[in-house]
Amino acid sequence: MVKTAWVFPGQGSQSVGMGIDLMDLPLAKERLAIADDVLGWSVSGVCQSEDNKVSNTLYTQPCLYVVESVLIDLLKERGQTPDLVAGHSLGEYCALYAAEAFDFTAGLRLVKLRAELMSQTSEGIMAAIIGFDREALETKIAETEGVVLANDNNPSQVVISGTPEAVDAVLTTVKSKRAVKLKVSGAFHSPIMGPAAREFQEVLDAVEFQPVVVPVLSNVDPTPMMDSAMLKERLSRQMTGSVRWREISLALPEQGIERVIEVGPGNVLTGLMKRTVKTLTLVNVGTLNQLQTL
């Protein structure tokens, strides 16, 4: 039996029309009805909106959670199960759902609040850096107050986050092939998110995590974990902590993983991972056709 990990993409993988081919399935209709009641707006309507409403943080995160959760349940209906799960930023909530740490509704309520808090954040900026000297980058970040490594995606792509002045100081000093400021409302995965994280914590504390059925690799600690209390504690640090995706990718072969299925729209994570680990078989399941041909 081939050991398989399921991984779940986060914000940035969304697209207009995502999940639409799934939404007439009975299971999807049930989930959409619950989601629309919890959210107060239509997930299918937002996903089909031609004005790219789905790329607004307020809507992106709940829509991704719903689409990826439906794919999780459809995979399980077909007898598929992972040996390990992980998710990138928002995707960690989907990984925890796949591991059965909480039910669909509890997870959606957390994601809804997370999206609201993050969309209201107006401080700081983020920038992606591609093709750089890692030692030079890490040295400059260490020397510069107000900036952190937010997403360590793979050896040649990272995202930094912090105050505009600190981010600019890094971008103007560290040579790279390409650097792009991201169109986000604030400095996600940095200490600037502290006030939002504290408000989120009050709600997270009230959610009871159930025993998980597979190990989870968390963004802030990429080691396999099945202790629910520890997974909840790791999640509580996620909003201000770094997404250590490069380390998660490297950890998979160490855990005997041979195949990785990216469950969600697009191929962002498989694209990142193929540059980090050459030995993994990478598969995408984001559409009904991909699901049926798995």
Residues 194 and 139 in one domain: no
Both structure tokens of 110 = 């957390």
Q: Which of 189, 218, 228, 249 is catalytic?
A: 189
| Domain end residue (candidates: 160, 181, 202) | 181
Both structure tokens of 267 = 């191929």
Q: Which residue has the tokens 């750089």?
A: 132
The span from the CA of 148 to the CA of 58, in Å, is 24
**How would you classify the pairing of strands 125-132 and 176-181?**
antiparallel
Residues 65 and 103 in one domain: yes
pLDDT band at 184; cut points 50, 70, 90: confident
Residues 107 and 239 in one domain: yes
Residues 155 and 171 in one domain: yes
The span from the CA of 238 to the CA of 201, in Å, is 11
Q: Are 43 and 62 in contact (CB under 8 A)?
A: yes
The span from the CA of 15 to the CA of 176, in Å, is 28
Q: Which residue has the tokens 């650097």?
A: 179
Residues 198 and 86 in one domain: yes
CATH assignment of the domain containing 44: 3.40.366.10
* pTM of structure: 0.96
The total number of structural domains in the chain stands at: 2
Alpha-helical regions (H) of 128-241: 134-143, 164-173, 194-204, 228-236
Longest dimension (CA), the chain: 54
Residues 248 and 144 in one domain: no
**DSSP character string of 76-93:** HHTT---SEEEESTTHHH
Strands (E), 33-142: 84-87, 125-132
| Domain end residue (candidates: 181, 203, 225) | 181
Structural element, H or E, at residue 34: helix 26-39
The span from the CA of 129 to the CA of 70, in Å, is 33
Structural element, H or E, at residue 267: none
Q: Which of 44, 69, 89, 218 is catalytic?
A: 89
Q: What is the pLDDT of residues 209-255, one digit of tens each?
A: 999 999 999 999 999 999 999 999 999 999 999 999 999 999 999 99
3-state DSSP assignment of residue 181: strand
| Domain end residue (candidates: 133, 149, 181) | 181
CATH assignment of the domain containing 131: 3.30.70.250
Residues 219 and 242 in one domain: yes
Residues 115 and 151 in one domain: no
Q: Are 280 and 258 in contact (CB under 8 A)?
A: yes
Residue 1 has pLDDT above 90, yes or no: no
Rounded to the nearest 10°, the torsion over CA 10, 273, 160, 136 is 180
Residues 141 and 287 in one domain: no
pLDDT of residue 81: 97
Residue 185 has pLDDT above 90, yes or no: no
The span from the CA of 266 to the CA of 286, in Å, is 7
3-state DSSP assignment of residue 33: helix
Q: What is the pLDDT of residues 64-91, one digit of tens each?
A: 999 999 999 999 999 999 999 999 999 9
Q: Quick check: is 89 catalytic?
A: yes
Q: Quick check: is 44 catalytic?
A: no
Residues 174 and 269 in one domain: no
Residues 111 and 222 in one domain: yes
Q: What is the pLDDT of residues 36-55, one digit of tens each?
A: 999 999 999 999 998 999 99
Residues 78 and 220 in one domain: yes
The span from the CA of 190 to the CA of 146, in Å, is 9
Domain residues for the domain of 162 are 125-181
Both structure tokens of 156 = 């040649």
pLDDT of residue 29: 97
Both structure tokens of 4 = 């398989």
**How would you classify the pairing of strands 157-162 and 147-154?**
antiparallel
Cross-strand pairs, 261 = 6, 283
